[in-house]
Amino acid sequence: MIVLLQSTLAESEQRALAGRLEAWASDHGARLVGFGPGWGKCVEVDLAAGAEEEACASQVRQIDGIEAVLTASRPTHHVAGAGREPQRIEVGPARFGGGFASAIAGPCSVEEHDSLLALAWQLRRAGATALRGGAFKPRTSPYSFQGLGRPGLEILRSVSDQTGLPVVTEVLDPRAVELVAEFADVLQIGSRNMMNYALLSEAGGAGRPVLLKRGMSATLGEFLLAAEYLAHAGCSRILLCERGLRHFDPTVRNLLDLAAVPALKRVTHLPVVVDPSHGTGSAALVPAMLAAAAAAGADGFLVEVHPDPRHSVSDASQALSPEVFATALERASKVLEACDRRLARPAAETQPV
């Protein structure tokens, strides 16, 4: 089992606490195997053969100065939901959780200011309460479009300021977290970086909510531990995002794991968002999966919308047109109501003429 020490303890207090742990261990046939350099404020304890881990953990939790004790059946601390109310996270008009679901919509990558502004107003009218779009793009090939970078962030910020839709955008590099956090309302960590722990630690400390996408072959346990990295670095507003898994059928880009929504809600209080666009890779399947995500209990939706899907620079085949998005979101809204929840909607129209 792993013992987390309170992070506020002075070094001398930590040493004293380690002494108390040593004493407990020697009384119980256990030993401290991890402690000191490389362990942060954690101590690993090897229990005596046959010892019952949960019972030992309960005892050790009583020791003064202990923040938490992690066991095989409870490997997380901050993101473990046991005994907590489901969390509601609000960002501008968007509300995730607590009976509300919100749509985050926008293009795969930011290409140009005026067209994005026009699209953002369309999205808002359709019921979206946040804007997505990539300024830094993770691309499988070094020769593919890598995003506009800082100019892309400036476009996003400007469009957000005019439309009132908060910005969700991806950060790829720990060295860019400060820059992205300056422009974005929510930092996105993509699937390929779910296990990029340097990035998680930096993004978790940026003072912004973080939308964390599940790795393309990550178990739910690994997903929650990645969220724990964010929380451990200080992040208190984490949105988990299911976005489809790698699998064997080449006719479908990803396999959307909607059962992850109720499964996650059993073990964490964090809101869960679903991305039916990457989750299927096919625009024709997105409306049905958006409705299904609403019925499965999702607290938010991340949907790729492009003003002219056939001419997008990237990921064209999965983007919806604004019109199809509006229709699909209406259906999802009705499904939410059938399930006693509601779509969070932006305030009444304020677009300047």
Among positions 125-184, residues that touch its own copies (CB under 8 A) are: 137-149, 151-152, 172-176
Shortest separation between residue 235's beta carbon and its own copies, angstroms? 12
Residue closer to its own copies, measured from CB, 14 or 146:
146
Shortest separation between residue 75's beta carbon and its own copies, angstroms? 6
Instruction: Tell me which residue of 37, 28, 40 sits closest to 3, measured CA to CA.
Output: 40
Q: Which of residues 42-101 bind its own copies (CB under 8 A)?
A: 42, 44, 70, 75, 77
Give the burial string for 115-139 (b: 16+ CB within 10 Å, else e): ebbebbbbbbebbbbbbbbbbbbeb
Residue closer to its own copies, measured from CB, 93 or 174:
174
Contact status, residue 101 vs residue 300, Cβ threshold 8 Å: yes
Shortest separation between residue 128's beta carbon and its own copies, angstroms? 19
| Cβ atoms within 10 Å of 31's Cβ, excluding its own | 13
Which window, 52-60, 124-132, 156-164, 262-270, contacts its own copies (CB under 8 A)? 262-270
The yes or no reply on residue 289 touching its own copies (CB under 8 A) is yes
Instruction: Count the residues of the shown chain that bind its own copies, applying the rule CB under 8 A.
Output: 90
Give one word for 267, left, alpha or beta, with left for phi > 0 and alpha for psi -120 to 50.
alpha
* Interface pick for its own copies out of 221, 236, 308, 317 (rule CB under 8 A): 221
Q: In whole angstroms, what is the distance from residue 338 CA to residue 324 CA?
A: 21
The yes or no reply on residue 262 touching its own copies (CB under 8 A) is yes
* Interface pick for its own copies out of 14, 71, 158, 282 (rule CB under 8 A): 282
* Interface pick for its own copies out of 117, 179, 313, 324 (rule CB under 8 A): 313
Residue closer to its own copies, measured from CB, 87 or 109:
109
Instruction: Tell me which residue of 160, 66, 151, 72 sits closest to 110, measured CA to CA.
Output: 151
Q: Which of residues 331-350 bind its own copies (CB under 8 A)?
A: 331, 334-335, 337-339
Contact status, residue 286 vs residue 88, Cβ threshold 8 Å: no
* Interface pick for its own copies out of 11, 27, 114, 249 (rule CB under 8 A): 249
Question: Can you say whether the dihedral through the CA atoms of 144, 149, 153, 159 is positive or negative?
Answer: negative
**Which two structure tokens, joined as six digits, stand for 280?**
């299927």
